[in-house]
C-alpha cells in the first residue's frame, strides 16, 4: 500500500486554526512529506501530540494519533512503540511542552533511545496561553509574565539531548521547506530516538525570533561540511551559542534502539483467547 | 493438644527475618498445612524492628490473632513488642551467647540456643536463623524433612553445598534442643497430603495480569506496589511483553496508556504519592476511551504517611480522583485469590468498556502470603473478552460517508468500536479534548452532551450486564449486618468464631458500580461497616445509597484487623447507640 501513499494522505480534513504565517504550517508539511517519503502510510503510523498551538498538529494530520496532556507526549510514544515495534511512531510538541513541563521525560526518552522521531516546534514562547516566556526564551525577552525578561539563560535543548546520551540530534527551520523535510526524514530513518528541534516562528507573540532573524542568522551544517558522526565536532556546534545552526548535528551510527536491546520484537496486541497454555506453571511456581 | 500454631521470628531489618519466615511458611505448606503470614516492618532498610509472623492450621486460616506460641527473638525488642501476645504455653527461642540478657516473662518457656556457634559449626554464622528453625521444629514436633524441601527451594539455585549446610544447621538446632531441654508444650502439628501454593496478593495480581494477557507494564518503585513490577519483570518477557521502570508515575501511566493505544493489554500500579501524580491522566484515559488497568495498593497516608503500614484510605481518590467527571470502574479484591480473579476481570472490563479500571488493593493483602489449593487459580477458567475491537473487515461498518473511522461513534450501549494501529482504514485521532465521533475537537453543545452521555452510558450498560455480586457468610437471617470491603474479609470471617451474637457478613469487592445493598440494610436491625480508615469512606457511600445511618468500625493505627479484636469491637458496637 505504501508505494502509492502521497503526503496529502496524512492530511486531515480539519482546517488548521493556526495564525496565518505561523511556523507550524511549514513544520507540519515537512513532517507529512517526510512520513510519506519514508514509505509510511496513515494506517501504520502513530502520531502523539503535545499540548500547545504546536500540539494541535495531531488534529490536522491523519493517522492513528493521540493528543494527550501537557508535557507527557514522549511517555505515550514510548508505550506505543513498545507495544507495537511494527508501527512508525512520531511525537510532536512545543518547547514549553517538551522542555518545561516535559523536561524530565525528554531526558529519559533520549537516554532510553526509543525508536521514534521527536519534532519540537520551538518558537521560544508559549503560544497557546498567549505569550508567556518559554524555557528557550532569551534572558531579556519581555513577555506578560516576564516584563523585564526571564533573567535566566535559555535551555539549550540540543545540549540537554547530548548530555543525556542522544543518538540523533538535529535542528531545522520551518520555512526552509526542503531542508526541514530532509532532516525530519533522517530522524525517522534513524534507528533510535530521532530528535529534531525546529525553529517554528510565532508571528503573534514573538517579534524577536522571527523568520527574518532566522533567515539572516541560520548556518547550514551541510554546507559547512560538518560530519555528524564526529562527536567532538557535534559538541562544538551544539555548545556554540553565538550562531543558529540547521542540519544533523550528531548521529551515532551504532545506535541500537531500546526495544531491540530489550528483545522486544512482537506485536503485543496479539494475545490468546484464554490464559496462555502453560499458565498453570505460573501457579506451580508457588508450590 | 494444640494444632493451631502462631509462630514468629523478629529482629532487626537486615537480619534475614523475611527469608527465614518464608522458608518456615513454605515448609508448613509443603506439609499440607494452611498458612497465613503477616509482616511487621518499618520504613528503613537496616536496623529497626521487623517481624514475620505465621499462623498455621490444618484448616484454612485467613487472619492474624492476638496470640503467639513460638517466638524466635533475635533482639530484646522482639520480645518487648510481642510480650502481650505471649502466654503460658509459649516458648521464646533466643541466643544467650549474644550480648543481650533476654528478659522473658515468667510464665513463658525460654529456650536458650547458641544459634551462632551452632551455625558456625555447620558452616557459617549466616545460618543462625536456620538453626532456630530446627529448634522450632523440635519444640513443636514438626518434621524437619519438610524444612529440607523449603531449604532446597530457597537455596537450590545457589548450589548443593549451601543447601546441605543449611539442612545440617537445622538438624543441629533440633538436636541441641532435644539434648538440653525437655519441653513439651503440647503441640501437635498434623500434616496432610495436600499440595498447596503459597503466595501474596501482589504476586496474585501479577499472575492475574499475565493470565489475562497483559503485555506491557510501566511503573515507578513505591511501597507496597513495587512487588507487582518485580514479579512481572522476568516473567512478562516469556510472553513477548515488557516492563518499563519509568522516570516517575506521570510517565508510567502515560506509557501504559500509549501501549494500550497500540492495542496491548496494559497496566500500571502504584500507591500513595504515586496515585496523586497519576491523577492527571485519569481523565485522559476516560476521555480518549483507552482501556487501562490502574492498580493502587493502598498504604497509610496522607502525604508519605506511614509507607509500610496498612490503610484503606484511597477509596475516595479512586472514586472521585481527577478533575471533571470521569467514568470509571473501581474494583477492590477482598482476598488473595480475588487479587488474581479481579485482575483478570479488570482487563476484561477495561477493554469491553474502554475505560480506566481502578484495581484497589491494600498493603495487608500485598505482603500477606497465604496457602491455597492450586485449583483456586484454575487457568482454564480464565476468559478473555476484548470487547468491540474491530479488524480490517469490520472497520467498514464504522466509516462515515467520507470513509472516516468513527472511533467515538455514539451507540446505544455507549460503547464505540476500537481499531488499533495497523487496522486498515481505522486511522483516527483521540484526544483529551472534547471531541466529535471522529475524535476531532469540538465545543458544540449537542456534540458535547452526546459524548458525555455516551461515556456514562457505558457505565450504565456495564451496571446492567455485569454481575456486581458480593460474598456473604455468617447467619443470613441474623438481625445484625456487618459490611466490609477489601482485605478485611478474612479477619471478619474468622471473627464469627469468636462472636456470641449472630451476625450476617457481607464483603463487597465492587466499589463502583457496586451491588445495591439497600434491602439488606433496611432488613437489618444493626448495620456496622468495617474499614481500615478514619472517616468511613465506604460507610459514607452505603449511607448515601440506602438513605440511612450505619455504625462504623474504623481502624487507622497502620495495623490490619485481627479476628479476635474485630469480634470484640463488633460486640461493643452492637450494644452502642446509632450515631445521630
Ligand atoms: C498541566 C497543564 N498546565 C498548563 C496548561 C496550559 N498550557 C497549555 S499550552 C501551554 C504552553 C504551550 O507552550 P509550547 O509548548 O511552547 O507550545 P506553543 O503553544 O508555543 O506551540 C500551557 C502552559 C495545560 N494545558 N496543562
Ligand atoms: S499564537 Fe503563535 S504559535 Fe500559536 S498559532 Fe499563532 S503564530 Fe502559531
pLDDT tens track for A56-77:
999 999 999 999 999 999 999 9
Please report the DSSP string for chain A in residue order.
-GGG--GGGGB-SSPP-SPTT-HHHHHHHHHHHHHHHTT--GGGEEEEE-SSTGGGHHHHB-SEEEE-STT-HHHHHHHHHHH-TTSEEEEEEEHHIIIIITHHHHHHHHHHT-S-EEEEEE-SSBTTTTSB--TTS-TT---SS-TT---SPPP-HHHHHHHTT-SEEEEEETTSHHHHHHHHHHHHHSSS-EEEEEE---TTT-SSS-HHHHHHHEEETTTTT--TT-HHHHHHHHH-TTSEEEEEEEE-TT---HHHHTT--S-TT---SBS-TTTHHHHHTT-
Nearest CA to B134 out of B153, B152, B147 is that of B147
Please state whether beta strands B329-331 and B510-512 pair in parallel, antiparallel, or not at all (unpaired).
antiparallel
- pLDDT 10s digits, B222-278: 999 999 999 999 999 999 999 999 999 999 999 999 999 999 999 999 999 999 999
* Residues shown for chain B: 580
Residue of B nearest to A266 (CA): B240
Taking the CA of A133 as reference, the closest ligand is 1
Please return the burial class of B412, using the count of CB atoms within 10 Å of its CB with bins 0-12, 13-18 and 19+: exposed
Ligand 1, CB within 6 Å, residue ranges: A 51-54, 70, 93-97, 121, 123, 125-129, 134
Cα separation, A91 vs B574, whole angstroms = 61
Is the predicted pLDDT of residue B44 greater than 80, yes or no? no
Q: Is A205 close to ligand 2, i.e. is its CB under 6 Å away?
A: yes
Helix (H) / strand (E) element for B51: namely strand B49-57
Cα separation, A47 vs A34, whole angstroms = 13
Per the CB < 8 Å rule, is B264 touching A268? Answer: yes
Nearest to A274 among B199, B384, B430 (CB): B384
Spatial strand order of the sheet with B471-474 comes to B471-474, B503-508, B480-485, B526-531, B551-554
Please give the model's pTM, rounded to 2 decimal places.
0.96
B471-575 CATH, one of 3.40.50.150, 3.40.50.720, 3.40.50.920, 2.40.30.30? 3.40.50.920
- What would the grid cell of residue B299 be? 498504604
Q: Distance, CA B303 to ligand 1 centroid (Å)?
A: 28
Q: For chain A, what is the mean pLDDT?
A: 97
Residue B273 near residue B304 (C-beta atoms within 8 A):
yes
Per the CB < 8 Å rule, is B203 touching A286? Answer: yes
Confidence of residue B389 (pLDDT cuts 50, 70, 90): very high
B504 - beta bridge partners?
A: B474, B481
Is the predicted pLDDT of residue A1 greater than 70, yes or no? no
Q: Is A218 close to ligand 2, i.e. is its CB under 6 Å away?
A: no
pLDDT, mean of residues B200-229: 98
CA B395 to chain centre: 40
Ligand 1 atom index nearest CA of A70: 26
Give the pLDDT confidence score for residue B64 in this predicted structure: 86
The dihedral built from the CA positions of residue A74, A75, A77 and A82, taken in this order, carries a sign that is positive
| Radius of gyration of chain A measured on its C-alpha atoms | 20
Residue of A nearest to B233 (CA): A262
Spatial strand order of the sheet with B510-512 comes to B242-245, B214-219, B265-270, B292-298, B356-362, B329-331, B510-512
Cα separation, B387 vs B338, whole angstroms = 22
| Selected residues 17-76 of chain A with any CB under 8 Å from a CB in chain B | 42-48, 58-59, 61-69, 72, 74-76
- What would the grid cell of residue A238 be? 551544539
Nearest to B262 among A47, A74, A84 (CB): A84
Give the pLDDT confidence score for residue B47 in this predicted structure: 77
Residue corresponding to grid cell 516458648: B91
Give the pLDDT confidence score for residue B42 in this predicted structure: 76
- pLDDT 10s digits, A207-231: 999 999 999 999 999 999 999 999 9
Question: Which residue's alpha carbon is nearest to atom 16 within ligand 1?
Answer: A96
Helix axes of B336-353 and B445-465: crossing angle, nearest 10 degrees:
140
Q: Chain A: give the shortest CA distance to residue B572, in Å.
A: 40
- pLDDT 10s digits, B547-559: 999 999 999 999 9
Q: Chain A: give the shortest CA distance to residue B171, in Å.
A: 23
Cα separation, B222 vs B216, whole angstroms = 18
Local structure of B112: helix, strand or coil? strand
Question: Are the folds of B200-381 and B471-575 the same?
Answer: yes
A64 - beta bridge partners?
A: A46
Quote the Cα angle for B385-B256-B414, to 5°. 45
Q: Is B427 on the interface with A (CB under 8 A)?
A: yes
Confidence of residue A2 (pLDDT cuts 50, 70, 90): very low
Give the pLDDT confidence score for residue A75 in this predicted structure: 98
pLDDT, mean of residues B2-30: 94
Local structure of B250: helix, strand or coil? helix
**Domain limits, chain B:** 5-180, 200-381, 395-465, 471-575
Give the pLDDT confidence score for residue A91 in this predicted structure: 98
Q: Is B256 on the interface with A (CB under 8 A)?
A: yes
Interchain CB contacts (distance < 8 Å): A and B = 222
Q: Is A123 close to ligand 2, i.e. is its CB under 6 Å away?
A: yes
Cα separation, A233 vs A229, whole angstroms = 8
Give the pLDDT confidence score for residue B2 in this predicted structure: 76
Q: Is A140 on the interface with B (CB under 8 A)?
A: no
Cα separation, B399 vs B38, whole angstroms = 55
Local structure of B11: helix, strand or coil? strand
Left if phi > 0, otherwise alpha if psi is -120 to 50, otherwise beta: which for B26?
Answer: alpha
| Selected residues 96-135 of chain B with any CB under 8 Å from a CB in chain A | none
To test the contact with chain A by mutation, choose from B258, B287, B436 the residue with the greatest count of A C-beta atoms within 10 A, namely: B258
Nearest to B441 among A59, A86, A283 (CB): A59
Q: ipTM of this complex > 0.85?
A: yes
Residue of B nearest to A1 (CA): B424
CA B352 to chain centre: 25
Ligand 1 atom index nearest CA of A100: 15
- pLDDT 10s digits, B427-480: 999 999 999 999 999 999 999 999 999 999 999 999 999 999 999 999 999 999
Domains observed in chain A? 7-286 (3.40.50.970)
Residue A194 near residue A117 (C-beta atoms within 8 A):
yes
A132 - beta bridge partners?
A: A126
| Domain at B5-180: CATH code | 3.40.920.10
Question: Phi first, then psi: what are they for B212, rounded to 5°?
Answer: -85, 0
Integer angstrom CA distances of residue B532 from B86, B147, B174, B212, B327: 26, 35, 41, 30, 26
Is the predicted pLDDT of residue A3 greater than 70, yes or no? no
The CATH topology of domain B200-381 is: Rossmann fold (3.40.50)
Is the predicted pLDDT of residue B421 greater than 90, yes or no? yes
Q: Chain A: give the shortest CA distance to residue B284, in Å.
A: 7
- pLDDT 10s digits, B56-83: 999 999 998 889 999 999 999 999 999 9
Taking the CA of A97 as reference, the closest ligand is 1
pLDDT, mean of residues B104-108: 93
- What would the grid cell of residue B290 be? 483507552
Q: Is B430 on the interface with A (CB under 8 A)?
A: yes
Give the pLDDT confidence score for residue B580 in this predicted structure: 67
Nearest CA to A88 out of B87, B385, B421 is that of B421
Residue B382 near residue A269 (C-beta atoms within 8 A):
no
Amino acid at each position: 500500500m505504501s508505494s502509492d501513499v502521497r503526503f496529502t494522505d496524512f492530511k486531515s480534513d480539519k482546517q488548521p486554526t493556526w495564525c496565518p504565517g505561523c511556523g507550524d504550517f511549514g513544520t507540519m508539511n515537512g513532517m507529512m512529506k517526510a512520513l510519506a517519503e519514508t514509505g509510511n502510510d496513515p494506517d501504520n503510523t502513530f502520531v502523539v501530540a503535545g499540548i500547545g498551538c504546536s500540539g494541535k498538529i495531531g488534529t490536522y494530520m491523519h493517522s492513528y494519533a493521540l493528543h494527550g496532556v501537557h508535557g507527557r507526549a514522549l511517555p505515550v510514544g514510548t508505550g506505543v512503540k513498545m507495544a507495537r515495534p511494527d508501527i512508525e511512531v512520531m511525537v510532536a510538541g512545543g518547547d514549553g511542552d517538551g522542555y518545561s513541563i516535559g523536561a524530565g521525560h525528554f531526558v529519559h526518552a533520549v537516554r532510553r533511545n526509543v525508536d521514534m522521531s521527536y519534532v519540537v516546534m520551538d518558537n521560544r514562547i508559549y503560544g497557546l496561553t498567549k505569550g508567556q516566556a518559554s524555557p528557550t526564551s532569551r534572558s531579556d525577552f519581555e513577555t506578560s509574565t516576564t516584563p523585564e525578561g526571564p533573567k535566566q539563560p535559555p535551555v539549550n535543548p540540543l545540549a540537554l539531548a547530548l548530555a543525556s546520551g542522544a543518538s540523533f540530534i538535529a535542528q531545522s527551520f520551518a520555512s526552509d521547506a526542503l531542508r526541514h523535510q530532509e532532516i525530519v526524514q533522517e530522524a525517522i530513518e534513524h534507528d533510535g530516538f530521532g530528535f529534531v528541534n525546529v525553529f517554528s516562528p510565532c508571528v503573534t507573540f514573538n517579534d524577536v525570533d522571527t523568520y527574518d532573524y532566522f533567515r539572516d542568522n541560520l548556518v547550514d551544517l551541510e554546507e559547512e561540511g560538518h560530519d555528524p558522526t564526529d562527536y567532538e565536532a557535534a559538541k562544538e556546534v551544539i555548545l556554540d551559542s553565538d550562531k543558529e545552526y540547521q542540519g544533523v548535528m550528531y548521529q551515532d551510527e551504532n545506535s541500537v534502539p531500546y526495544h531491540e536491546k530489550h528483545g522486544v520484537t512482537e506485536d503485543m496486541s496479539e494475545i490468546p483467547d484464554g490464559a496462555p497454555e502453560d499458565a498453570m506453571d505460573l501457579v506451580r511456581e508457588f508450590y | 493438644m494444640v494444632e493451631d500454631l502462631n509462630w514468629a521470628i523478629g529482629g532487626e531489618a537486615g537480619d534475614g527475618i523475611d527469608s527465614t519466615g518464608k522458608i518456615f511458611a513454605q515448609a508448613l505448606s509443603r506439609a499440607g498445612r494452611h498458612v497465613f503470614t503477616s509482616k511487621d516492618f518499618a520504613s528503613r532498610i537496616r536496623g529497626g524492628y521487623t517481624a514475620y509472623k505465621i499462623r498455621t492450621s490444618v484448616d484454612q486460616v485467613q487472619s492474624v490473632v492476638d496470640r503467639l506460641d513460638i517466638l524466635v527473638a533475635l533482639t530484646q525488642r522482639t520480645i518487648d513488642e510481642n510480650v502481650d501476645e505471649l502466654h503460658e504455653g509459649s516458648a521464646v527461642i533466643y541466643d544467650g551467647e549474644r550480648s543481650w540478657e533476654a528478659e522473658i516473662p515468667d510464665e513463658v518457656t525460654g529456650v536458650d540456643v547458641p544459634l551462632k556457634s551452632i551455625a558456625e559449626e555447620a558452616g557459617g554464622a549466616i545460618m543462625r536463623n536456620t538453626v532456630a528453625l530446627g529448634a522450632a521444629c523440635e519444640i513443636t514436633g514438626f518434621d524437619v524433612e519438610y524444612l529440607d524441601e523449603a531449604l532446597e527451594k530457597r537455596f537450590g539455585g545457589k548450589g548443593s553445598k549451601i543447601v546441605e549446610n543449611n539442612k545440617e544447621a537445622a538438624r543441629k538446632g533440633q538436636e541441641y534442643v532435644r539434648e538440653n531441654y525437655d519441653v513439651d508444650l503440647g503441640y501437635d502439628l498434623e500434616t496432610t497430603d495436600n499440595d498447596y501454593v503459597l503466595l501474596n496478593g501482589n504476586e496474585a495480581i501479577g499472575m492475574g495480569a499475565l493470565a489475562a494477557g497483559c503485555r506491557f507494564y510501566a511503573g515507578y518503585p513505591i511501597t507496597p506496589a513495587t512487588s507487582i513490577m518485580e514479579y512481572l519483570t522476568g516473567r512478562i518477557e516469556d510472553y513477548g511483553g515488557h516492563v518499563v521502570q519509568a522516570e516517575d508515575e506521570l510517565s508510567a501511566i502515560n506509557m501504559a496508556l500509549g501501549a494500550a493505544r497500540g492495542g496491548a493489554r496494559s497496566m500500571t500500579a502504584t500507591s500513595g504519592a504515586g496515585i496523586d501524580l497519576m491523577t492527571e491522566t485519569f481523565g485522559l484515559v476516560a476521555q480518549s476511551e483507552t482501556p487501562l488497568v490502574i492498580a493502587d495498593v493502598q498504604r497509610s497516608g496522607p502525604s508519605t504517611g506511614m509507607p509500610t503500614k496498612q490503610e484503606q484510605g484511597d477509596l475516595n481518590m479512586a472514586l472521585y480522583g481527577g478533575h471533571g467527571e470521569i467514568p470509571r470502574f473501581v474494583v477492590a479484591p477482598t482476598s488473595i485469590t480475588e487479587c488474581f480473579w479481579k485482575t483478570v476481570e479488570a482487563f476484561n472490563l477495561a477493554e469491553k468498556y474502554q475505560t480506566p479500571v481502578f484495581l484497589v488493593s491494600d498493603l495487608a493483602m500485598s505482603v500477606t502470603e497465604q496457602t491455597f489449593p492450586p485449583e483456586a487459580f484454575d487457568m482454564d477458567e480464565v476468559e478473555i473478552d476484548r470487547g468491540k475491537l474491530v479488524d480490517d473487515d469490520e472497520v467498514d461498518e464504522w466509516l462515515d460517508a467520507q470513509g472516516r473511522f468513527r472511533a467515538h461513534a455514539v451507540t446505544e450501549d455507549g460503547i464505540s468500536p476500537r481499531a488499533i494501529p495497523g487496522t486498515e482504514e481505522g486511522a483516527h485521532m483521540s484526544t483529551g479534548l472534547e471531541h466529535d465521533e471522529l475524535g476531532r475537537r469540538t465545543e458544540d453543545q449537542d456534540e458535547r452532551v452526546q459524548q458525555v452521555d455516551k461515556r456514562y452510558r457505558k457505565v450504565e450498560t456495564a451496571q446492567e450486564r455485569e454481575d456486581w455480586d458480593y460474598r456473604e457468610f455468617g447467619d443470613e437471617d441474623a438481625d445484625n449486618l456487618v459490611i466490609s470491603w477489601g482485605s478485611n474479609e478474612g479477619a471478619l470471617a474468622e471473627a464469627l468464631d469468636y462472636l456470641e451474637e449472630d451476625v450476617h457478613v457481607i464483603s463487597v469487592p465492587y466499589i463502583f458500580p457496586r451491588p445495591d445493598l439497600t434491602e439488606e440494610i433496611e432488613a437489618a436491625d444493626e448495620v456496622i461497616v468495617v474499614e481500615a480508615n478514619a472517616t468511613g469512606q465506604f460507610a459514607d457511600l452505603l449511607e448515601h445509597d440506602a438513605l440511612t445511618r450505619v455504625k462504623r468500625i474504623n481502624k487507622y493505627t497502620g495495623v490490619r484487623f485481627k479476628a479476635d479484636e474485630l469480634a470484640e469491637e463488633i460486640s461493643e458496637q452492637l450494644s452502642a447507640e446509632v450515631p445521630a
